[in-house]
Amino acid sequence: MECYETQMRTDPMALMSPPTMKTNPPNLLSEAAAPRDLVSIHDLSPAEILALFNLTSMLKQRPADFRGVLAGKQMVMFFEKPSLRTRLTFEAGMDSLGGSTFFVDQTASRLNARESLYDIAHNLERWIDLIVLRTFSHSVVEEMATYAGVPVINALSELEHPCQALADFFTLQEHFGDLSKIHFAYVGDGNNMAHSLLLAGAAVGAKVSIATPERYGLNPVIVTMAKAIADETKASLRILIDPRKAVAGADAVYTDAWASMGHEHEAEERAAIFAPFQVNATLMQLAKPHALFMHCLPAHRGCEVTDQVIDSLNSVVFDQAENRLHIQKAILVWLLGGGVGRFSARSSHAHA
Ligand code: CP
Ligand code: NVA
């Protein structure tokens, strides 16, 4: 045990500090990263989120400097739901860092249908350096993170979509700079996106206004967590039921599907309830003139957003999609280190 306890671990903050030597980022990553997971936005401190954004900027500006930093690393992705952006940005991102990816299409049955998550975790950690999960149940991601001795990333669960929310606030930082000065509005379903955006907005110290229909509100545990973060960062959080109030004076207006994956059978019933929450030109006029339109995609044009708004000059939906690649590369570098991290104390196995 003693040798484990004395093993050096690099502070993830140090890992995410800007490099002093432009030409040699791998040296900065040569110590073992603390084994961590990204299950929720709450897994990152406000300072770590800003540090992650710094690393993301470097990866975006100078991708060639990071080519090969994850050489030899292997990532597995189990997806219980379909994906375009998340799958491809993780695969392309890992490839551009020199690592490899295995994708398991888990859409035909739940991940734990054949054997227990405990047993799956203790298999995977013997072969693989990092696990990415897209699940129905959030507890599946939490349990995998508890059992597996390698990092676990939530690539969307029913409760959160942290990678998307991080890409979104990085996109806002590119446009506005200081995130503590912006008013961010979300209107629509109190779903996984709304939860991660609320937590991320609280962490960066923004003014956040969220409006949902009464019966489709936010998870109270997430709201409590966000309020605790906001006490620390001085963020201002408003939870509303009137979309017009939420959007008034906003710098950015965000919406998402009215019926998320797994709720498609409720689409008709929801369409009537959510109609006043549609982001159209009339609603956008209440926001600041420069206000950005944001959506995680896939969008349901004519439902939660009109063509006029999503195709407008103020729409940044494809910037958000692009930034999924850059933010996830930063997350991978942060979690895997790129150096001796793969032989960290949590992993009792030697890799081939
Ligand atoms: N925004 C997002 O996560 O897209 P996919 O469902 O296509 O991965
Ligand atoms: N709330 C949506 C997000 C898709 C990226 C869903 O869960 O389907």
Take residue 41 and report the two structure tokens written for it.
């936005």
Which residues, in sequence order, are bridge partners of residue 185? 209, 253
Left (φ > 0), alpha (ψ -120 to 50) or beta: where does 73 sit? beta
pTM to 2 decimals?
0.89
Task: Please state, rounded to an integer, the average pLDDT across all residues of the chain.
Answer: 89
Q: How confident is the model at residue 24 (pLDDT cuts 50, 70, 90)?
A: very low
Other Cβ atoms closer than 10 A to 201? 34
DSSP class of 19? P
Take residue 219 and report the two structure tokens written for it.
């998870």
- CATH level 2 (architecture), domain 21-160+323-336: 3-Layer(aba) Sandwich (3.40)
- Which atom of ligand 2 is nearest to 297's Cα? 5
Most confident of 1-5, 34-38, 119-123, 337-341: 119-123
- Which atom of ligand 2 is nearest to 83's Cα? 5
3-state secondary structure of 330: helix
Q: How confident is the model at residue 337 (pLDDT cuts 50, 70, 90)?
A: confident
Q: How confident is the model at residue 176 (pLDDT cuts 50, 70, 90)?
A: very high
CB 232 within 8 Å of CB 162: no
185: nearest Cα among 233, 256, 234, 259 = 256
Q: Residues spanned by CATH 3.40.50.1370 within the chain?
A: 21-160+323-336, 164-319
Mind listing the pLDDT tens digit for each residue in 293-323?
999 999 999 999 999 999 999 999 999 999 9
Please give the pLDDT value at position 344.
35
Residue from 85, 191, 218, 294 to probe ligand 2 pocket by mutation (most atoms less than 8 Å from CB): 191
With a cut of 90, say whether residue 96 has pLDDT above it.
yes
Sign, CA dihedral 117-119-122-128, equals negative
Please give the pLDDT value at position 1.
32
With a cut of 90, say whether residue 25 has pLDDT above it.
no
Mean pLDDT of 203-222: 98
- CATH 3.40.50.720 corresponds to the domain 164-319: no
Q: What amino acid positions are annotated as catalytic residues? A: 134, 161, 164, 256, 296, 324
